[in-house]
Amino acid sequence: MPPALELTGRTFGRLVAVERSHKDATGAWMWLCRCGCARYVHVRGATLTAGRASACSSCAASMRARTHGETGSPLYQRWRAMLDRCENSHHRAWRDYGGRGIAVCPRWRSYELFAADMGSTFRPDLELDRIDTDGDYEPRNCRWISHAAQQSNKRNNHVIEWRGHVKTVTQWGSTLGIPSNTLVHRLRRGWSVDRALTTGASRDVLLELANEAAS
Ligand SMILES: [Zn+2]
């Protein structure tokens, strides 16, 4: 593998390379870049130097969609929000999406292709939902569901870090032997995470976690 390029401070269109960030799944270096719109995005160094990225995906898409007059459409807003959750580390929900490694598939970085795949089943009262919540945004993992159904899923998929482990409410429920709806209700009533996860939990599992923490 050739040595990583030094791109700090260099400008690529609207993007300025801030710092080398991490390697992606293929071992290529990703750079944290700041776009002219103040969003932060991660872009492959090779993509930058090849001139194939000159703005964050939202700005790039806005420029394209503006020519199609679509930026205000509800479908477009769903698409743009999806990209923001996964690629803008300053987005309020980034921690649960991009920050957990959830990505948008290459095909759907194009609004036109996203609209081609998902447009026919869309209605403005529906939200974009991932079937496997650890999976990416891609055609086989996505569907439209009602806002109410999504809120219920979100509570079950809420990520909790406890005793050195990061799991969703559903995963904690099955690990500890507590129904996930019970956990959701406890947390909504303001129980501490510690009390919510230990009350009625499997003694064996709690002992295991304690031993792990001690070793
Ligand atoms: Zn931008």
Tens of pLDDT, residue by residue, the chain (215 residues): 555 679 999 999 889 999 999 998 889 999 999 998 889 999 999 999 988 888 988 888 777 766 666 777 899 999 999 999 999 888 888 998 999 899 999 999 888 899 989 998 999 899 999 998 889 999 999 999 998 888 888 888 888 999 889 899 999 999 999 999 999 999 989 999 999 999 999 999 999 988 887 77
* 170/182 same-domain check: yes
Q: Which domain holds residue 143?
A: 11-152
In a domain, residue 205? The reply is yes
CA of 167 to the centre of ligand 1 (A): 32
pLDDT of res. 96:
87
Instruction: State the helix-helix crossing angle for 111-118 and 74-87, rounded to 10 degrees.
Output: 120
183 in the same domain as 106: no
Same domain membership, residue 179 and residue 113: no
Does one domain contain both 65 and 136?
Answer: yes
Q: Which of 127, 152, 177 is the last residue of a domain?
A: 152
Cα separations in angstroms, 115 against 80, 98, 118, 144, 187: 12, 22, 5, 13, 37
CA 41 to ligand 1 center in whole angstroms = 9
Does residue 106 belong to any structural domain of this protein? yes
Is the same domain home to 193 and 145? Answer: no
- Given this model, what pLDDT does residue 66 score? 67
Q: Does 3 fall in a domain?
A: no
How far does the centroid of ligand 1 lie from the alpha carbon of residue 33, in Å? Answer: 10
Rounded to the nearest 10 degrees, the angle between the axes of helix 57-68 and helix 74-87 is 170
**Whether residues 85 and 165 fall in one domain:** no
Note whether residue 65 is domain-resident: yes
CA 62 – ligand 1 centroid, Å: 9
In this prediction, residue 164 carries a pLDDT of 87
Query: How many structural domains are present in the chain?
Result: 2
Q: State in Å: Cα 36 to ligand 1 middle.
A: 6
